[in-house]
Amino acid sequence: MLLMATAMMAARAVHAQQRPIPVIGFFGASATNIEAPAGFRQGLSETGWVDGQNLRIEYRWADGHYDRLPAFAAEFVGRKVDLILATGGNDAALAAKNTTSTIPIVFVTADDPVADGVVASLARPGGNLTGFTFLSVELMVKKLDLITELVPRAAAVALLVNPEYRQTERIIQETKQAARAKGVQLRVLKAANEAEIDDAFSALVELHPGALVQGADPFFFSRREQIVALASREAIPAIYAVREFADGRRPDQLWRQPLGGLSGGGYLCRANSQGRKARRPAGAAADHLRAGRQSQHRQGARAHGAAIDPRPRR
């Protein structure tokens, strides 16, 4: 009996060793996502998945170089990961989608995933993809509305964009149209790296805008401390894509629930006469919509969304 029990224990041990540990391939367009895994891992651990024990997570970061994303996706597919998490815009989601139709993909984006063909619809994404978006690009016009309401004397507004971001031309055109309708001049500033961000803010001295709107882009999120500090130095009211620019929250807090819990919002950051930043909400500049959680059998999905009061909070 003792010999049989020992043999059974040994057989179970061998079976456990042979069973592969699930692997998640986590990649993103910006180095900012290096801060995200702590919260992501915490959320997974609360559901019983612990990185390094019964799960392994591998990370790849493009650091603003969007052309690297397809290679990361191909690497994960070649390594036969069990799930791909694509963050930082539709570029990452499309890179994953174009590489595999079988490995489940979860995406996190600020873009419209339907317009770019990432999913068929928000309610029924279809295929092997699911995720959510907080539609920062679609809400650029709303951010312009809010900043001109909060700074009514601003005859000109600066728009900071990244020329390498796939949505930049759309952002510029839609914001220009909205500015013309309001009788406000729009000054476009372009920056694709840290040095160019410094140059863009130096140009503000000559342009004399009354306010600044920061365009949606994952790279800017990774440089949020630099951008907020420069806006404070120039004493220019600024409205950003998400609240982390203004309230200083760590982004890892957003990742405890991989398919939810990401809140957006437009926040005004104004430097006072003593150089200290005064922060207050400037209304909702980003709703977020989950693009439908799929069942294991992929039989339909429900649309998830959070309606946020668009009126400026006083």
- Considering the chain, what is the average pLDDT of its residues? 74
Q: What is the pLDDT of residue 188?
A: 95
Q: What is the pLDDT of residue 35?
A: 54
Q: What is the pLDDT of residue 31?
A: 56
Domains parsed from the chain with CATH numbers = 15-135+289-305 (3.40.50.2300), 140-281 (3.40.50.2300)
Q: What is the pLDDT of residue 278?
A: 38
How far is residue 124's CA from residue 142's CA, in Å, rounded to a whole number? 27
Tell me phi and psi for residue 123, to 5 degrees.
-75, -40
What is the pLDDT averaged over residues 116-141? Answer: 85
pTM as predicted: 0.60
Tokens 């507004």 belong to which residue? 157
101 half-sphere exposure, CB direction, 13 A CA radius: 2
How far is residue 242's CA from residue 80's CA, in Å, rounded to a whole number? 34
> How are strands ordered across the β-sheet holding 304-305?
56-61, 23-28, 83-87, 105-109, 129-133, 289-290, 304-305
How far is residue 76's CA from residue 93's CA, in Å, rounded to a whole number? 13
Q: What percent of the chain is helix, strand and coil (3-state, nearest 5)? A: 35, 20, 45
pLDDT for 203-260, tens place per residue?
988 888 999 999 888 788 878 889 999 999 999 999 987 777 777 655 545 555 443 3
R_g over Cα of the chain: 22
Lowest mean pLDDT among 36-45, 85-94, 132-141, 287-296: 287-296
Q: What is the pLDDT of residue 151?
A: 93
What is the pLDDT averaged over residues 196-206? Answer: 92
Is the pLDDT at 294 greater than 50? The verdict is: no
Q: What is the pLDDT of residue 9?
A: 45
Is the pLDDT at 288 greater than 60? The verdict is: no
What percent of the chain shows pLDDT beyond 70? Answer: 70
